[in-house]
């Protein structure tokens, strides 16, 4: 019994030790799986060893004393195992603490590295900002230096003139005092300050003087060759030229040119050039209106040359300063001067070579705009030069180093060239005012040193003022012909007629009739046409059925030629509906049956709509096709209108093919059929 008890106690102890080891292994740290596996292997070895000893003890049937020794040995082994487990836990704790320290060090290193990166980025941004500020300050410094040099030049140029002017003013003042002493005093306070006002006039005209006061001041001055009178005429010339240049447009340019020649353009050529450049810079979209420069150039070539030199100088300065708006304006002005043949085409080719030598987004964009403006004339005058420019554009496009937007601009330019610059003529018909044989062309290179002659914009007294004015007056009469003399003669005749009291009444009535015929007012605002369209629209939309609409529309009094407006409005109302209404087809059929004029107008509408069918939306296209299908199917519209349609791949588009498909489908389904269609087409 003792042996049996001892054997059972040994089994219980071994099971208890196994459970204890399993619980210890479960509560071990997951981060040290390798160490846990090694401990489990050692435990298995020890367990096998103890089981082997137990089997040996059973086989050898040891005595109870030996069994006690075994119990003590097992107790020692358990203590040893506990010590080993305790060391393992201490080791695991040390390892976990080392891993925590490693994580902290790693996080600290990452924070330091991120901080260094942020410092480098902030330092780079600060360097970029400082570089931009330095570049802006250098540009500002260059501009200030240029302004200072220009002021010094103007001061040096006008210094001698001012000395002479002061001497002459002093002499004129002394003479004026002698004259005033000899005259009775009848001047008011405003009249006594005339000389003071004239002396206050500076480079830009000084204080504002009303026109009536300026005219009175000019009349008061007796000496027409004095400096005061010359200054007043200079101020009046400047205001007149500015006013004429600012109000010129395509419709009144033929009236502005005679008024412009009435001013002394030789004396005010600097003012004229400056005014043209300022007006064009303010509105580059109306650059072609300055075709008056071409007209002035035929009579005064030095004015055209001066303007061209100043524009080229402005272009070079804008290109150097990277001033894109000013560069675009100057390039557009040069393009239109080339179109008017005031400037030679060599300057256009030089400009393209400069812009495309080192291509950037802005330079390529400017070059595309320049070729668009003057490509039509370059195609006729210098086709090889234009081909070279387009080859350069193609190379830039293949390189692909520029922005997508600029690449699209180049592709659009190639499309314009393929269409032979349709829509971009060199000169509009209303601005083609100079014959090619009369035009004088100036050759200026971008490499030349250009003198803008700024001194021409500043007033300088002329010792031969009266003689030069008389010469220009004779020149003006030669340019304008005898118009001025005829006007003076007509004014004198009208004055005599007013003074003469013995004229016949019949002549007066005839003159009144002629005046009434000449004073016919023509409305260019198309107000009556807009009212007619409104009336037609309201009548169509407010009618219950097509018979009522036709009855009301026939009551509208239409002038000859306005029948087309009714057809257009009917077709427009039909296309605006969400779905096709047979109401419009019946109404159009009724008008075609009533009068052949409406039938011809609907034929014209068919041709116009088919030519512009690609502009219509799908719903509008379907409504228009069904409308014309109704007219064709009911024989209201002759079938020979289909001769305009050409069924080839080149002559049709997707929209036109859809239009034709809907047209014939509706005719086949609703009106006639395949047999009738073939009969109509054959006959």
Domain membership of residue 640 (yes or no) is yes
Query: How many C-beta atoms lie closer than 10 Å to residue 283's C-beta?
Result: 11
Residue 512 falls within a domain, yes or no? no
Query: Does 625 fall in a domain?
Result: yes
From the list 516, 363, 338, 537, the residue with the least C-alpha distance to 442 is 338
Are residues 266 and 384 both part of a single domain? yes
For residues 589 and 630, the answer to whether their CB atoms sit within 8 Å is yes
Concatenating the DSSP letter of every residue in 404-431 gives: HHHHHHHHHHHHHHHTTTTT--SS-GGG
* Contact between 624 and 659 (Cβ < 8 Å): yes
313 and 403 fall within a common domain: yes
pLDDT over threshold 70, residue 607? yes
Lowest average pLDDT, out of 78-82, 146-150, 317-321, goes to 146-150
Where does residue 650 fall: left (phi above 0), alpha (psi -120 to 50 degrees), or beta otherwise?
alpha
The backbone torsions φ and ψ at residue 121, rounded to the nearest 5 degrees and listed phi first, read: -65, -45
CB 656 within 8 A of CB 613: yes
442 secondary structure, DSSP code: B
Boundary of a domain, candidates 456, 486, 505:
456
Whether residues 555 and 445 share a domain: the answer is no
Among 282-286, 360-364, 502-506, the minimum mean pLDDT is found in 502-506
Based on the fold, state whether residues 437 and 544 are members of the same structural domain: no
Contact 439, 341 (CB under 8 A): yes
Mean pLDDT of 620-631: 92
Total number of domains in the chain: 2
Assign 583 a pLDDT band (cuts: 50, 70, 90): very high
Q: Per-residue pLDDT for 153 more than 70?
A: no
Same domain? For 449 and 544 the reply is: no
What is the enclosing helix (H) or strand (E) of 564?
Answer: helix 563-576
Q: Are 225 and 255 in contact (CB under 8 A)?
A: no
Contact 351, 370 (CB under 8 A): yes
Q: If pLDDT is split at 50, 70 and 90, which confidence band does 447 have?
A: confident
Higher-confidence position of 257 and 143: 257
Residue 409 in any domain: the answer is: yes
Choose the final residue of a domain: 456, 482, 513: 456
Highest mean pLDDT among 47-61, 86-100, 380-394: 380-394
pLDDT of residue 202: 43
* Domain presence at residue 390: yes
Q: How many CA atoms lie within 13 A of 436 on its CB side?
A: 5
Residue 369 has pLDDT above 60, yes or no: yes
Q: What is the average pLDDT across 300-310?
A: 90
Query: Across-strand partners of 442?
Result: 343
Evaluate whether 176 touches 195 at the Cβ level (below 8 Å). Answer: yes
- Say if residue 533 is in the same domain as residue 451: no
Could you count the other beta carbons within 10 Å of the beta carbon of residue 411?
11
Q: Are both 331 and 439 inside the same structural domain?
A: yes
Q: Kindly report the backbone phi and psi dihedral angles of residue 29, in degrees, each rounded to the nearest multiple of 5, phi listed first.
A: -70, 135
Question: What would the pLDDT profile of 20-50 be if each residue is shown by its tens digit?
Answer: 666 555 555 544 555 555 566 777 777 787 7
Pull the structure tokens for residue 657.
Answer: 């093919």
Q: Exposure string (b/e) for 304-334, b if CB count within 10 Å is 16 or more?
A: bbbbbbbbbbbbeebbeeeeeebbbbbbbbb
Q: Which residues touch 368 (CB under 8 Å, ≥6 apart)?
A: 393, 406, 409, 410, 412, 413
Torsion from C-alpha of 103, 105, 106, 111, nearest 10 degrees: 120
| Proportion of the chain above pLDDT 70, given as a percent | 70
Distance CA 197, CA 208 (A): 10
Question: Rounded distance, CA 286 to CA 528, Å?
Answer: 30
Distance of CA 118 to the CA centre of its chain: 39
Looking at residue 623, its pLDDT comes to 93
Q: Are residues 452 and 533 in the same domain?
A: no
Q: Whole-number mean pLDDT of the chain? A: 77
Q: For residues 246-277, b (16+ Cβ closer than 10 Å) or e, as one string? A: eebeeeebeebbeebbbbbbebbbbbbbbbbb
Same domain, 540 and 393: no
CB 375 within 8 A of CB 470: no
**Gap between the terminal Cα atoms of the chain:** 133
Q: How many CA atoms lie within 13 A of 332 on its CB side?
A: 20
Least confident of 130-144, 470-484, 594-608, 647-661: 130-144
Helix (H) or strand (E) holding 386: helix 383-399
Instruction: Record the tokens describing residue 210, joined without a space.
Output: 């009303």
Res. 491 pLDDT band, cuts 50 70 90? very low
Q: What is the model's pLDDT at position 154? A: 65
Q: Please check whether residue 225 lies inside any domain of the structure.
A: no
Q: How confident is the model at residue 573 (pLDDT cuts 50, 70, 90)?
A: very high
CATH number for 553: 1.25.40.180
Enter the tokens of residue 232: 């007043």
Inform me whether the pLDDT recorded for 136 exceeds 80.
no
Among the candidates 400, 421, 456, a domain finishes at 456
pTM attached to this predicted model: 0.45
Cα four-point dihedral sign 24, 30, 31, 37: positive
- Which of 35-44, 384-393, 625-634 shows the lowest mean pLDDT across its residues? 35-44
pLDDT of residue 120: 66
Task: Return the number of other C-beta atoms located less than 10 Å from residue 554's C-beta.
Answer: 14
* Structural domain that includes position 305: 231-456
Residues 393 and 538 in one domain: no
Both tokens of 193, joined, read 């300050």
**Averaged pLDDT, 509-523:** 55
Question: Residue 336 and residue 294: Cα distance in Å, rounded?
Answer: 10
Token duo for residue 590: 């009724």
Q: Residue 147 is encoded by which pair of tokens? A: 């302004």
Q: How far apart are CA 337 and CA 341, in angstroms?
A: 6
DSSP 343: B
Closest CA to 317 of 414, 226, 450: 450
Distance in angstroms (rounded) separating the CA atoms of residues 511 and 521: 18
Residue 674 lies in a domain: yes
Cα separation of 345 and 442, whole Å?
10
One domain for residues 313 and 429: yes
The answer to whether position 634 is within a domain reads yes
Bridge-partner residues for 343, per DSSP?
442
Helix-strand-coil percent breakdown of the chain, rounded to 5? 80, 0, 20
For tokens 């039909």, name the residue.
Answer: 574
- What is residue 450's predicted lDDT score, i.e. its pLDDT? 85
Phi (first) and psi of residue 574, to 5 degrees: -65, -40
């Amino acid at each position: 019994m003792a042996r049996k008890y001892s054997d059972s106690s040994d089994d219980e102890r071994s099971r208890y030790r196994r459970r204890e080891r399993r619980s210890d292994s479960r509560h071990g740290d997951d981060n040290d799986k390798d160490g846990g596996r090694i401990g489990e292997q050692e435990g298995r070895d020890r367990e096998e060893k103890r089981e082997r000893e137990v089997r040996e003890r059973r086989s050898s049937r040891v005595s109870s004393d030996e069994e006690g020794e075994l119990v003590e040995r097992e107790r020692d082994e358990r203590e040893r195992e506990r010590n080993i487990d305790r060391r393992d836990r201490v080791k695991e704790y040390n390892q976990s603490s080392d891993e925590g320290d490693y994580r902290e060090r790693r996080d600290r290193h990452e924070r330091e590295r991120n901080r260094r990166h942020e410092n480098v980025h902030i330092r780079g941004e600060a360097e970029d900002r400082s570089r931009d500020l330095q570049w802006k300050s250098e540009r500002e410094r260059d501009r200030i230096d240029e302004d200072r040099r220009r002021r010094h030049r103007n001061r040096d140029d006008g210094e001698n003139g001012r000395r002479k002017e002061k001497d002459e003013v002093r002499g004129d003042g002394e003479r004026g005092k002698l004259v005033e002493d000899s005259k009775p005093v009848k001047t008011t306070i405003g009249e006594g300050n005339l000389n003071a006002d004239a002396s206050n006039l500076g480079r830009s005209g000084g204080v504002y003087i009303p026109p009536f006061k300026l005219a009175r001041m000019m009349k008061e001055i007796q000496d027409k060759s004095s400096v005061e009178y010359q200054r007043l005429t200079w101020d009046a010339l400047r205001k007149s030229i500015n006013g004429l240049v600012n109000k010129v447009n395509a419709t009144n340019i033929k009236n502005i040119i005679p008024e412009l020649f009435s001013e002394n353009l030789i004396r005010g050529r600097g003012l004229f050039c400056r005014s043209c450049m300022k007006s064009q810079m303010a509105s580059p979209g109306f650059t072609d209106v300055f075709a008056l420069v071409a007209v002035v150039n035929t009579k005064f070539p030095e004015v055209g040359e001066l303007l061209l030199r100043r524009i080229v100088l402005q272009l070079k300065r804008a290109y150097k300063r990277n001033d894109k708006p000013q560069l675009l304006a100057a390039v557009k002005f040069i393009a239109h001067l080339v179109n008017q043949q005031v400037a030679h085409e060599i300057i256009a080719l030089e400009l393209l070579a400069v812009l495309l030598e080192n291509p950037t987004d802005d330079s390529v964009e400017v070059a595309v705009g320049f070729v668009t403006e003057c490509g039509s004339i370059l195609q006729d005058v210098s086709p090889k030069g234009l081909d070279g420019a387009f080859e350069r554009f193609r190379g830039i496009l293949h390189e692909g180093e520029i922005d997508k937007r600029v690449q699209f601009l180049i592709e659009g330019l190639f499309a314009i060239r393929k269409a032979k610059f349709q829509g971009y003529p060199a000169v509009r018909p209303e601005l083609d005012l100079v014959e090619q044989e009369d035009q004088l062309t100036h050759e200026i290179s971008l490499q030349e040193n250009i003198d803008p002659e700024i001194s021409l914009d500043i007033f300088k007294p002329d010792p031969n003022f009266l003689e030069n004015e008389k010469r220009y007056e004779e020149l003006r009469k030669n340019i304008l012909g005898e118009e001025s003399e005829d006007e003076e003669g007509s004014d004198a005749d009208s004055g005599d007629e007013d003074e003469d009291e013995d004229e016949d009444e019949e002549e007066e009535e005839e003159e009144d009739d002629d005046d009434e015929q000449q004073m016919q007012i023509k409305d260019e605002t198309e107000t009556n046409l807009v009212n007619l369209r409104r009336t037609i629209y309201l009548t169509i939309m407010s009618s219950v059925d097509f018979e009522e609409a036709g009855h009301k529309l026939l009551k509208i009094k239409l002038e000859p030629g306005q029948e087309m407006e009714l057809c257009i409005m009917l077709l427009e109302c039909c296309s605006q509906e969400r779905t096709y209404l047979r109401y419009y087809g019946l109404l159009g059929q009724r008008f075609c049956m009533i009068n052949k004029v409406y039938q011809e107008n609907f034929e014209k509408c068919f041709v116009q709509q088919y030519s512009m069918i690609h502009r219509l939306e799908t719903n509008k296209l379907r409504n228009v096709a069904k409308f014309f299908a109704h007219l064709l199917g009911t024989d209201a519209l002759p079938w020979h209108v289909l001769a305009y349609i050409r069924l080839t791949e080149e002559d049709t588009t997707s929209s036109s093919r859809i239009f034709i498909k809907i047209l014939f489908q509706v005719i086949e389904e609703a009106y006639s059929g395949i047999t009738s269609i073939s009969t109509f087409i054959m006959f």
